[in-house]
Chains A and B, each alone.
Chain A
């Protein structure tokens, strides 16, 4: 049995039928980790002992006939910016290399309650700043389809862990495409839920008004199960919404007849790799064949979304990262006085990209620049929201590429920040607006996966599930397999 390619619901059924114990499953995943991890490096920390203890506990509960959640005994991993009590949480930064949170993030609590088995913490771009997982202070993570290519980022490790069979599903965070772009690069499903739908408590902030936790999975049914577990109000997070959480399994409908899908022409511009554009066009044809009505739509402010996103996210990050000063936790570099201690700690603790964003954000907020940069970016944000609102008057969802191109080579864009930022052009507008978006694999180009992005109205994750599920049931393109590790 190829346990590490099965989906969560398949594994869950095997365990329910007692054909597989959680401990056996966990050991199988630990074996896979030990086989591939040296090369692929998706994990900052593997929590073997915790995983085995949790797995045995689940087996005990099952033996006693307790009712269990569909995630019980399922191997999961989370990005290393999601706090886990007693387990090092580093944000892939030298600054937090020694930080062990005294609490679990709200999603970690929900996973524990569901009896999911924690395999470890995934590598990422430092503090979520990057699009390739190359800015991790520890090491680069490799793309399972091509070890010379990046896995995308910032939540690259979490995407790779699912693609390479090291976890059955994972959670990452998405500030500007940090789930959707690595999902596209690694041929797995990724979803950024509506802002506020999943608690941010215990997610180490990059940019507070944009950050959102979301899942990576192998199929659409798993996505529904995981959304059922992680969505919902959290009184401890002021940005959490009290919206009712529907049973997302009910949205797994193989029918999109009459669904109106908008194709924002600005997302298929000159920057798009024509081979990717062709794959997206192929998907459009398939959707039309299945009964959807696809039409072009204008979203005129799209080109300003990316710079506005970088100004807003850098501004917020420059403030969010001010707490890493060496006084209370994390790295401290001793110095003769407190100001020198601040300076030395921050100079040594942060990598180049984090420093670049802090400088950008500090500049954008400083007296004299505030109106020209930060306020202007907020105005652009409003215009982008209006573009989306207008589009959603006519369409049930929007379809774009999840990334303008397939995974690039490690080091290819390392010296060129603008090119790196540009690679998030399709995904950043979604975070500015706060709506949910799905990244769904759709075949390969030269052996590398292509991702579709489907965007829906606030709290209409159900529409995304319906589109994704229908495509999944009617094509063989949504589950590309990396030959290398599976």
Chain B
């Protein structure tokens, strides 16, 4: 296994966040009734003519810039010809010969090491419609439905160089790509809704050689995790094929999530696309001034924000990396910090409770009810000693689910912590009276015996006593 090296290139399709489609005024809203967001242009009716949506150019240039690409000042559209029922014109309008963005890169972090993945190109193209088959595939189905709502949606396709060498690197590259595009406001980058899709070209070669092995193209991966798993599986499969003395067949393979394997998709042969210039659309001409203006609208990107969290707020680099990996999380952090100026504590709660709950429930931050102000208020209650850290976690979970004010939750649950020394004094005295052995142990120098006594006080108060206060009072009483 270690005698082989995997060589992976990724093709990522990202749907651009516009209100209307690439060449017509139809809405791009997700999840509408099939074929309700269509017109003669995106249905490719005879005689229809489209007009380029200028917002798409702006977002594509933004995307190119946050992928560190050069921007083409004179580019155009081409036709990619092939037949498929989801493709209403019998060709896809794309940029084959001159992409709007090219020669970029993303830096990823692998085990604390920086690695640069070069990006060949990012070009604008239109999305086809969506097919729903009555059977397993189009050729085996008795009938299939086509939904053209997606037809003509604006996409950019981002093609990496084959410089990725593991599933882990692929995952890190995708995370970085997603974060940068999300920060720039270019796309929703939601793989579940199809606004980000990824295909992987995978090959293997003996370590130390430079020639590329025969590649397979892997499709149908529905999450970053699936991409990683599919690549890992495919690399192993190809190595096994070679070890057995066979040859890897150049083909398209689909990822089967349930079985965790890739399968040959025989009817997905690449046709001769017969690409040529799209004469119905004028070229896209951009001035350096316009590109500079677009650049000026790009907010702070994940790397810069991460650096800022480390340098200005003293967060560990790892924490800063996690928090800035998603714009929503980073904004949550900043908002909480405004109300409660202890960066490390906020970071601990985000890294601990918030991410734990989001992962456990497979939710997006936007779906959780907790607010940054709520978290700040909770941390204040803990700091004042009104509730313990442990109670805080309980309250946090309620806030996460229901979004209530922490003070109210504390009241409703009767959770408030007993810090009142008069009340505690009586209970501590009872515990001391009931546990003469531990008291004797403590006084004979076994200082850890105090832990047992604190535990007894906590038990007696059903956990509501402030452990810090109890500890201090116990030591004081025992020392007398």
Using a CB–CB cutoff of 8 Å, the interface residues on chain A facing chain B are 81-83, 89, 91, 96, 99, 101-103, 105, 200-205, 208-209, 235-239, 315-316, 318-319, 321-325, 327-329, 337-339, 342, 362, 365-367, 370, 374
Contact = CB atoms under 8 A, between A and B. Distances in A.
A105 B282 contact: no
Contacts of B89: 322-323
Contact of A322 (B40, B47, B85, B90): B90
Contact of A327 (B51, B81, B85): B85
A202 B47 contact: yes
The 9 lowest CB-CB distance pairs between A and B, nearest first, are A322-B90, A209-B279, A365-B274, A204-B46, A202-B47, A83-B47, A208-B279, A201-B49, A204-B47
A329 B45 contact: yes
A347 B430 CA distance: 98
B403 interface: no
A319 B276 contact: yes
Contacts of A101: 45-47
Contacts of B44: 323, 328
B146 interface: yes
Given A101-B46, A102-B40, A201-B47, A338 B276 contact: no
A96 to B, nearest CB: 7
Contact of B279 (A235, A239, A339): A239
Q: Most A CB atoms within 10 A — which of B48, B144, B279, B282?
A: B279
B280 interface: yes
B85 A367 contact: no
Given A238-B49, A370-B276, 19 more contacts: A81-B47, A83-B47, A89-B46, A89-B47, A103-B40, A205-B47, A239-B49, A239-B280, A318-B274, A319-B91, A319-B276, A322-B83, A324-B90, A328-B44, A329-B46, A342-B83, A362-B274, A365-B81, A367-B272
Given A315-B276, A366-B274, A238 B50 contact: yes
Contacts of A316: 279
Nearest to A106: B49
Q: Most A CB atoms within 10 A — which of B44, B49, B52, B275?
A: B49
B138 interface: yes
Contacts of B279: 208-209, 239, 316
Contacts of B48: 201-202
B139 A339 contact: yes
A154 to B, nearest CB: 16
A111 to B, nearest CB: 15
A389 B75 CA distance: 26
A238 B46 CA distance: 16
A414 B66 CA distance: 59
Size range of the chain B interface in the assembly: 20 to 34
Contact of A365 (B138, B276, B281): B276
B87 to A, nearest CB: 9
B49 A200 contact: yes
Contacts of B276: 315, 319, 365, 370, 374
B51 A236 contact: yes
B79 interface: yes
A325 B274 contact: no
Nearest to A96: B46
Contacts of A374: 276
B102 to A, nearest CB: 22
A83 B46 contact: yes
Interface in B16-42: 40
A99 B46 CA distance: 9
B25 to A, nearest CB: 10
Nearest to A200: B49
Given A102-B40, A337-B139, A365-B274, A323 B51 contact: no
B43 interface: yes
Contacts of A236: 49, 51
Q: Most B CB atoms within 10 A — which of A238, A329, A339, A367?
A: A238
Contact of B88 (A83, A103, A202, A328): A328
A82 to B, nearest CB: 8
Interface in B85-121: 85, 88-91
Contacts of B46: 83, 89, 91, 96, 99, 101, 204-205, 323, 329
Contacts of A322: 81, 83, 89-91
B274 A319 contact: yes
25 contacts: A83-B46, A89-B46, A89-B47, A101-B45, A101-B46, A102-B45, A103-B47, A201-B47, A201-B49, A204-B47, A236-B49, A236-B51, A238-B52, A239-B282, A319-B91, A322-B89, A322-B90, A323-B46, A323-B89, A325-B83, A325-B85, A329-B46, A338-B138, A365-B81, A366-B274
Nearest to A103: B40
A332 B281 CA distance: 30
A365 B78 CA distance: 12
Contacts of B274: 318-319, 362, 365-367, 370
Interface string B267-287: 000001011100111100000
A139 B276 CA distance: 34
Contacts of B138: 337-338
Contacts of A208: 279-280
Contacts of B51: 235-238
Interface in B248-278: 272, 274-276
Nearest to B276: A365
Interface string B126-147: 0000000000001100001010
Nearest to B82: A322
A323 B43 CA distance: 10
A82 B46 CA distance: 10
B393 to A, nearest CB: 56
A454 B272 CA distance: 42
A430 to B, nearest CB: 17
Contacts of A83: 46-47
A365 B88 CA distance: 20
Given A238-B280, A319-B79, A338-B85, A203 B90 contact: no
